[in-house]
Each structure stands twice: as C-alpha cells, then as structure tokens.
Structure 1
Amino acid sequence: MNLLNLQPSTLGLSAVVWALLLAITTYGLGRAAAVNARATRVWAATLLSMAAAFVCWSAGTAGRGWIDFLLGNALAVLCSVLFLNAIWILVGRSIPWGWSVGQFGAGVSGVGWVYFLGAPHGWAVVTIALAILATAMGSIVVLLQHRRIRSSVAGWTLIGVLLLVCVFFVASRLAVLVFGGGALAVRPLADHQVQVISLWLTHLIIGGASLGFLAVLMQQRRDAALARSRLDRVTGVLTQQAFAEQALAHLAHASVYSVLRLEVDHFQRLSEAHGREAGDAVMQQVATQLLRALRDPDVACRWGADSFCVLLPHCDETEVHGVASRICQSVASQDLALPAPVGLAWTQAAPASVALSASVGVATAWVPSEVALVTRQALDALIRRADEALYLAQSMGRNQVQVVHTGAFDASWAEPLQAAGSGALRRVF
C-alpha cells in the first residue's frame, strides 16, 4: 500500500493517537525521572493541545466550521507557544509571559480575520506558519546556547527536528499560497497531496521532538544523579572524593593557590550530648557561613565528620588570611538553635541553643613559572601543611586561624621546602 495514498482523516486520527501516547509516556517518564517536572508538564500539555487540534479538525469535516477552523487552528497556535516554553524550561530558562501572549495573539490573528471578517484563507496560513516558525527558531537558538545539549545526540535530534519544521513544514504551508493549490490545500485534513505530506511530516516531528525531549530529560536525570553523588547529603558541598577529582582542574594557570582546613570545635562532645540531628544542624550552619565567605572559583568539600577543606585558586597568603578570619568570626558570631529530637516535640521550654566556634589552618603555595601543572602530590602536601596549621590552632586554644609562613612551600615539590614545625607557623587570629 502506498503510504502517500492514505486518507488525511486516517492520518489525522493516527496523529491524535500518536500524540496522546507520547504525552502519557512523557508525563510518566517525567514523574519517574523526578527532574525538571515543569518542563515535562508543559511538554505533555503541548502534545495534548496538538491532539485536541486534530480532533477539532476531524470534527470540522461534518460542517461545523467554528470547531474545524477557529478552535482547531487556535489550538495549533497554542501548541506552538507551549512547545517553545517547554524547550526553554528544559534548558533552565523561561520566556516572558508577554512574549507568549504576543506569539499566540499574532498566530490567531489571521484565523480571526478569516472567520469573522471574511479575509482570504491565506491570512490564517501566514500567521499560523509565522507562529510555528518563531517557535522553531526560538528553540534552535536556546538549544545552541546550551553547551551540554549542544554536545549531545539528543540535543542535535531536537535541533534537527526543528530545522525540519523550518525548512519543510512551514515552507510547505507557505508554498500553497505562492503556487496555489485550491481552497482544500489550506485545510489541515483536506484531501490534497500537500496535506498528506504535511501530515506525515507532523508524525515525524511529533515523534522526533518527543524522543529528543525525553532523551535530554533522561540525560538531565543522569547529570542530576551524578551531581547528587558528588555532594555531601547534609551540607551540600562536595564530597572528599569529588573534591579530589575536580581540584586540579581549578588550578590551571594558577601562579599561587591556598588550602584552608576548618574543623568545628568540640563537635564530638556536642553530637554525643544532643544527638546526630544536632550534629547535622551544626555542620549545615557552618557550611552556610563557609560558602558565604568564599569566592566563585573556590572549591569546598566536607573532609570528615566535623571538618571541611577548601581550595582557593589564585589566592595568596594575605587574601586567604582574610577569608579564613571572616569564616572563623562568622561561625562564632551566632549561636545555633538545636532541632527537637526525632519523635519528640518541645513542649515547655524553648529549643536549646549552643555556641559554636571553629579552628582554621591555612597553607599557601606558589607555582614557579617553569612548572606547567600543579601535581596531585603537591596539592596533597599542601593539604598536609594546612592540617598542621589546623592542629596548632586547636592546641593553642581553638577558635582561631593559623597560617603557614609566606615562602614556606613551593608547588613544584611534593613536599615542603623546609621541615614542618612550629617555626614554620604563626598565629594570625
């Protein structure tokens, strides 16, 4: 059987079923993925509006022109508006509501002129085609600007489908006006060869765009799961393993860098007295104070049950001293209200609070001009020097910062240039 000889009404019915199946699949997979739920809902609404448009076009063959022409074409324009919004939400952006209203209004304007004012049908074809063209071009632009999607097969599938919309689908609609085709050629389900080709392209666009959208959604799910695995569950900073994987990449082209080691004072005693939930609350508050004091290029991780480690690229001894002092003072500046124990409620007295403090050790390294890259051994050695400074801060009474002397370490070596000891450290806070 020649597929091009299928009746447009049959193709319209299959488009309805196809769109509904993909809408259900999209919504189900979106819920299972538990990521970008808003984009999933908008994409499902896009497919449902397309299915509804085909239902209206099919019902219109019985002679009810307001269902066929007015409502059906309005739903088609709504589909284009939702399509563009779904793509933008997928990449983490949103379209101003004014743009969506304007796109919908411009798309249905020709439909209104034809239905209410008796204008030529070509006006509706032009405005609907321009609304679809705006969707395709706007989606292509935002997808090309997203590096992760631009580098994936799923992203290029979406871009390819949108290019198909621009080149073939919209062009075929406008070609009817240029070369003619009779009154039937401008009706979506008219028995005309142009409409049969357009309906097959619609099937391809629905399927290709949905599969590309779902592939991007699944990639985002994998990326989100990977990101969560790299973050500490309690504090939201990197895990120690993730820190080790990423740290050296942040030191490219760095001529100087520092490491900061922070440990909460008397954490074990506090956790034993008030419970694990209190210990988690302490680490969360300290992490918040820590992140507020850091710069954009700095990398923080949870180093142990009660400590953090921070890499500060392009940060010399003076700068890191200022950062460490602000962190130490910030942690000690406010008490922490302890959460109620699990299963219990505070009934009479207000929740207990504790005073917090932290000890901080800092080490700085310089990268000689003849050294191309900082080695893992050099970074580990600098972390050990920061640990020595931290231990000194704790032995001298806690709630203070200790920093390695300037010039005490050279990043081209895996070990310090001079033996570590009290002579290489000084109290600065």
Structure 2
Amino acid sequence: MNILLKSAKIVCPENKELHLKKRDILIKKGTIEKVGASLEAPSGAKIVDLPNLHVSLGWLDTGVSFGEPGFEERETIANGLKVAAKSGFTDILLYPNTHPIPDTSSDIVFLKERGLNKSTRLHPLGALTRNSEGVDLAELFDMHNAGAVAFYDFKKEISNSNLLKIALLYAQNFGGLVFSFPQDNNIKGHGIAHEGEISTTLGLKGIPALAEELQVARDLYILEYTGGKLHIPTISTAGSVKLVANAKKKELDVTSSVAIHNLFFTDETLTGFDTHFKVSPPLREKSDVRALLKGLKEGTIDYVTSDHIPIDIEHKRVEFDNAMDGSIGLETAFGALNTLMGMEESIALLTKGHQRFGLEIPKIKEGEKACLTLFNPDESFTFSDDNILSTSKNSMYLNAELKGKVYGVINNDQITL
C-alpha cells in the first residue's frame, strides 16, 4: 500500500531536523520512502489530508485488558486492537486478564496469533504464577521464548515475599521483567475507595495509601537484595512516588507507571456513587494527583497507561460495593493526557517504553518502517457515548471535557483511520 500524508506537522524531538516541521510523508509498502516539503502522490496512492494533521512515532500503552479468551462479551482481541488503533496506539501490552489465565507458552502463542496482521501490535504479558494464584511460579522461561514481554499476576498482590525474591532471581537468567501490583491486601481489607474525607463522608470502606506504599517499599527492598528488573504498574500515591524516586537514586532497575485516570480524576468524583469511577488502585485525593504529575515531569514515573479494562454492564450496573473495578480508557487516553500536560509532554510519554519491554523502537526517518500515529492536538470536545468504540461502555470519562482528537495509525503496512 502506498500512502501520502500531506502537510503533517511532525512531533519527534529525537529528530531535530523534522521536529515541529510541516512535511509531506510518502510511505511505500510500509516503509517511509520520502519526507519532503511538497511531494507528488504515486498513481493509486491513498492521500491523507486532514485538518491540523500532526504525526508522531507510534504510541505504546503499557497496560490493556480485552476479554478474549473467556470474556468475549467484554471485548474480543480483534475489536480491541481496532479500538487501540483508532485511539492512536501502534503497540499495546495485553494484561493476563482472561479465562484461562495465560500461564503457559501455548497460551502466549494463542494470544500472539490472534493479534497477527493488525494495525496495532499485541504484546502479551504472561502470568507470574500458575493461574495467578500466587503459589508457584508459572512457566516464565517458556513463555518468554514464546513472546511474553513480562510477567504479571493481574491486579493481584504477591503476598509471598520469598516468591517475589525467587522470581526476580530466576528471571535474571533470561533478562525477564517482573511486574508487581502495588497493594497489600491485608491492609486494604474490604476497602473500596481511597481512605480519606470523601470515603468517610460517603460511608465507603477506605483503602489507605499505606496499603500501596507498604507493598512498594517491600518490593524495592527485595529488588535491592536480588537485583533483576522490576516494574510497578499503576502507582497512585505521593508516598509511592517518593519510594520509587529513592530507589532510582540507588540505581535499582525499577520502572513504574500511572493510570491516566489517576491523574485526571480525584476521589471527589465518588459523591454520585457512579460505579464507572470504581477502579483499582482507587482514585486518590488532590495531593496525590499533584505528586503523580510532578513525578511524571521529573521522570520518577516512567510511563502512563490507559489501564483499559472493559467490564460488562451486569458487573457495573450494581451497588458501588459490589461493582467490579475498571474503566475503559483507550479512546480517552490522548485527550485526557493532552488536556493535563499539553501536546509535547503527552507525546513524549506515549512514545516511551519500547526498549524497556524489548520492543522494536520506531523512527521517523527515510528507509525506516512506518510506525506512526496521526492526530489533531487542538480539537476540544465533550466525550460521549458516541465516542466509545469498545464493546463495553464502562467509561468514567463520559461528559468530560477533553482536548485532542486522534485520527488513527499507520503501522504494519496498514492504515486505520
């Protein structure tokens, strides 16, 4: 397929000659053939000429759930990848949040095969322990060889400290990356919302910041002892930011991410008992949000994630206490982040992480494979049901004012707009 992008403003700080310049980009058979001020379209080429067109390297989301296999009513892999592409993501890390849980090499092969030949590349995470039960390590080496980019018991604490120690030691033999969800369930108890003034006022059982920070501190102490590579997904408190910052000063090999909704919303949204806002980790208070934003800007927090978790209506349209945790977030990721941080900082965050997870690093350069995201950073809109592309509709961003429209992606010699 031949594609000509017309008058695209290129957002690519790594290429100073092209950064924030308007150029035409000619793509032939999936490769960037030419970048120039005014290019002619070859016969039969698809011409893309969109309002205020901006182009960046393809975006990476470090944490996405779909449903297939087992929960196809929530989302299939095929439609989930289409949603990701239309939301600007050329690569996603797929959470092991399915039934059965992917804890063998054959499970990883299945997921990768289901994601072949799409505009968005699927990179599966394997379970850290068998069936994510936290008892015995899963087949980490075999899953690594089959294409798992890291290992994670989805949204479950690793309660056994020795198990995390063994996992970090063992994974060093093949450069494996271990995820550890930052939550101590004994401290969390039956909590369903951030412990603070709002939860007390509403009569909701609280989850103290301590439940997260205690686990983060423990994990970092173990990492300091063992070495290895650790990723802490979706931290949400000011204390966690400080702990990760101190660990990086010690030069420990640790990275962390934050869910975009934990930057965009606070626990004040819970006053309406809307179950769309019930997530894990919970929405925190303003001081935590300020610390998270500062941590991102200073580089303490490495990545942002949509933490996209589709949930069927039967598990959301219930009492707040009984609702499942999770919100979809792919469709709103750029609009929310761009609203908070502006275009250049948002793009810098969305294009990070390829090297950490062993993925091919894209470039905007003649002769390189085209891995591009197309967007308009200046269009403001109110997010509504009409903007939801996912099968599940559980979005906490409904009626939110967002800035930034995504057109789609060009990747794998395909274009999705």
TM-score by length of 1: 0.20
User: Which structure's relative contact order is higher, taking Cα pairs within 8 Å and 6+ residues apart?
Assistant: 2
Larger Rg: 1
